[in-house]
């Protein structure tokens, strides 16, 4: 089984942009258009043990998402519109938004799979 065949979902990735407000302050907004649209991925909820372990390190993650190697994900991106497929048929759509809260990790050190931790947005 190839790594790519395990990516049973797609998602949209939005980039955080910063600007200056009329009062001279800084404003942060996400781009209106997805930087990556329908990007192949696989998402899963972290187990309670994983959450506790990450919590000890001061990390508050709720989910983990995987992308094919070489996919550029920034630690300030937002991920949404997750569509899951089974045998090429759409089985579910998750419109919740997730914030990336870790740097991308090349899981096998061979640029085949990128892992990123997420936190479900309120």
Is pLDDT above 90 for 2? no
Q: What percent of the chain has pLDDT over 70?
A: 97
Determine which helix (DSSP H) or strand (DSSP E) holds 48, and give its type and residue range: helix 48-56
Report the C-alpha gap between 102 and 119 in whole angstroms. Answer: 10
Q: Where are the domains of the chain?
A: 4-13+39-120
Could you read off the pLDDT of 66-107 as tens digits, one per residue? Answer: 999 889 999 899 999 999 998 889 999 999 999 999 888 888
Q: What percent of the chain has pLDDT over 90?
A: 54
* Fold exhibited by the domain 4-13+39-120: Thrombin, subunit H (2.40.10)
CA 59 to chain centre: 15
> pTM here?
0.86
């Amino acid at each position: 089984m190839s790594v790519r065949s395990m990516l049973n979902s797609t998602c949209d990735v939005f980039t955080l942009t910063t600007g200056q407000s009329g009062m001279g302050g800084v404003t942060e907004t996400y781009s209106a258009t997805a930087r990556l649209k329908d990007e192949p991925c696989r998402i899963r909820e972290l187990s309670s043990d994983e959450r506790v372990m990450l919590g000890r390190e001061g990390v508050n993650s709720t989910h983990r998402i995987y992308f094919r190697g070489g996919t550029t994900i920034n630690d300030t991106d937002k991920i949404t519109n997750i569509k899951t497929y089974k045998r090429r048929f759409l089985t579910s759509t998750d419109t919740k938004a997730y914030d990336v809260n870790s740097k991308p990790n090349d899981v096998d050190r061979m640029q085949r799979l990128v892992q990123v931790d997420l936190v479900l947005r309120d």
